């Protein structure tokens, strides 16, 4: 066989029968295969509907965002008020609780041991009220309630001063042989507590609720805080503590515009005082109406008794009238050949305090210098310039401390009387 006749056929031309599972690695698409048809364009009315729906969805989203923003803003505005009120409520309630405790402490049975316990209890109440003031100072009021917040601080400060005054006055009154002279002092300190209730109710609660209403927070309210629930009972309790029940006359507070039997009785007593003292004022018409003439006569009595001439008939004014009538009665029924005492009558004048100026301050500085010369010869005298500065306040406080008064640096009737008495003793 010729070698050229050999043929090498490594790959068969056709796969074996039945072997159809041989893998096809790739396959070119025939040139004539139909291509995929592109999506047909939507009709114009469908496009329009889709656009309208998209615009509506965007508008709805914007409306939702606007509502959320406005709502969150209003909630934040209201939350500042609610947060402040939440902090104010325990302060108001705590201060009212101190007032209730004061009434309870003074109204108990009084013995030597209970009086000592009373003073300790009053110390605790002073500390509680100081804590209430500290909590109130720590609050940050909304800008619209800043004035009411300041008035709340003023009311609590007045309560603290009244408590401290009552505590100090009771301490000295119980140690004195005769506690009767301390009744007017304690009465005026009680008046401070009553005044604090007036401030809270009108300048804090009333004005604050108006602010809340104006800001759309009518459902919220400034809490009440009454320190003195029954002033008449509290006055009687103080008299019981001192053992001087009946030493003072009692009655309601009277002022311009009041009418009734209490006014009639007051006018009758005033007329007796006017007649006994030879006043140039015209006697009052006893008609039970507290008018301008009754107010003027009341102010004249207060001035003569070294009280602030405000024309309001309170316990101190009633006591002054009783003392004045008793004095004129004894002087007319029991003439005395004894020469008048060297002690001059207590001078009258307005209440003076730090920052005041004028001739009244000048007169006060002159008297203080006389007291300094008599009691502290080496002390530096005041510059008599008619300005109530820190030096005048310091010397005033020294006088008050030496006279057993609360050293608050304010020149009132008690301080003027103390200076007059001190000058009399010294010379």
Encode pLDDT of 177-225 as tens digits: 667 667 777 877 888 899 899 899 988 999 999 998 888 887 888 999 9
Q: Is residue 273 part of a domain?
A: yes
Is 382 in the same domain as 322?
A: no
Is 173 contained in some domain?
yes
Residues 234, 99 within the same domain: yes
- Are both 265 and 321 inside the same structural domain? yes
Domain assignment of residue 65, yes or no: no
Asked if the structure places residue 44 within a domain, the reply is no
The answer on 236 and 102 residing in a single domain is yes
What pLDDT is recorded for position 160? 93
Q: Supply the pLDDT for residue 250.
A: 60
For the question of whether the overall pTM of this predicted structure is more than 0.95, the answer is no
Residues in contact with 277: Cβ distance below 8 Å, sequence separation at least 6, in sequence order: 304, 324, 328
Q: Are residues 267 and 369 in the same domain?
A: no
| Number of domains observed in the structure of the chain | 3
Q: Given this model, what pLDDT does residue 184 score?
A: 76
Q: Is residue 364 part of a domain?
A: yes
Answer with the one of 316, 333, 350 that is the final residue of a domain: 333
Same domain, 213 and 80: yes
**Assigned domain for 71 exists:** no
* 206 shares a domain with 108: yes
Considering 298, 333, 368, which residue would you say is the last residue of a domain?
333
Residues 177 and 323 occupy one common structural domain = no
State the residue range of the domain holding 393: 359-426
Same domain, 159 and 237: yes
pLDDT at 422: 79
Structure-token match 């305090």, residue found? 353
User: Is there a single domain that holds both residue 233 and residue 317?
Assistant: no
pLDDT of residue 41: 60
Asked if residue 15 is part of any domain, the answer here is no
User: Residue 415's domain is classified under what CATH number?
Assistant: 1.10.101
**Residue 57, in any domain of the structure:** no
- What pLDDT score was predicted for residue 426? 62
- The list of the chain residues with pLDDT below 50 reads 1, 21, 23-26, 70-75, 245-248, 329-346
Cβ–Cβ < 8 Å for 163, 125: yes
Q: Kindly state whether residues 163 and 300 are assigned to the same domain.
A: no
pLDDT of 173: 79
Residue 185 shares a structural domain with residue 312: no
């Amino acid at each position: 066989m010729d070698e050229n006749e050999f043929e090498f056929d490594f790959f068969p031309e056709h796969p074996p029968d039945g072997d159809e599972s041989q893998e096809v690695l790739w396959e070119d698409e025939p040139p004539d295969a139909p291509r995929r048809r592109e999506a047909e364009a939507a009709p114009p009315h469908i496009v329009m509907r889709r656009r309208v729906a998209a615009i509506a969805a965007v508008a709805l989203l914007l409306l939702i965002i606007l509502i959320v923003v406005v709502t969150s803003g209003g909630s934040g505005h209201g939350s500042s008020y609610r947060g402040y009120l939440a902090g104010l409520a325990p302060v108001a309630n705590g201060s009212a609780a101190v007032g209730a405790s004061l009434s309870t402490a003074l109204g108990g049975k009084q013995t030597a041991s209970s009086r000592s316990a009373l003073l300790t209890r009053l110390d605790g109440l002073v500390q509680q009220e100081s804590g209430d003031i500290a909590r109130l100072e720590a609050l940050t009021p909304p800008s619209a309630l800043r004035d009411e917040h300041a008035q709340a601080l003023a009311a609590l400060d007045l309560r603290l001063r009244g408590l401290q005054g009552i505590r100090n006055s009771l301490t000295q009154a119980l140690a004195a042989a005769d506690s009767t002279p301390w009744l007017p002092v304690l009465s005026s300190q009680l008046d401070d507590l009553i005044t604090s209730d007036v401030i809270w109710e009108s300048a804090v609660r009333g004005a604050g609720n108006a602010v809340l209403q104006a800001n759309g927070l009518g459902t919220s309210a400034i809490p009440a805080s009454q320190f003195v629930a029954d002033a008449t009972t509290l006055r009687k309790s103080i008299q019981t503590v001192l053992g001087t029940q009946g030493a003072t006359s009692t009655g309601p507070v009277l002022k311009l515009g009041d009418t009734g039997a209490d006014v009639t009785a007051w006018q009758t007593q005033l007329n007796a005082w006017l007649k006994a003292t030879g006043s140039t004022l015209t006697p009052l018409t006893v008609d039970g109406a507290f008018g301008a003439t009754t107010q003027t006569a009341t102010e004249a009595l207060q001035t003569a008794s070294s009280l602030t001439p405000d024309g309001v008939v309170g316990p101190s004014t009633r006591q002054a009238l009783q003392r004045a009538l008793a004095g004129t009665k004894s002087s007319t029924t029991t003439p005395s050949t004894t020469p008048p005492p060297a002690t001059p009558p207590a001078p009258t004048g307005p209440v003076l305090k730090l920052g005041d100026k004028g001739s009244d301050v000048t007169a006060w500085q002159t008297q203080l210098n006389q007291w300094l010369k008599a009691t502290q010869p080496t002390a530096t005298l005041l510059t008599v310039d008619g300005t109530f500065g820190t030096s005048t306040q310091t010397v005033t406080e020294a006088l008050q401390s030496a006279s057993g008064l609360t050293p608050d640096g304010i020149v009132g009737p008690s301080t003027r009387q103390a200076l007059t008495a001190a000058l009399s003793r010294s010379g």
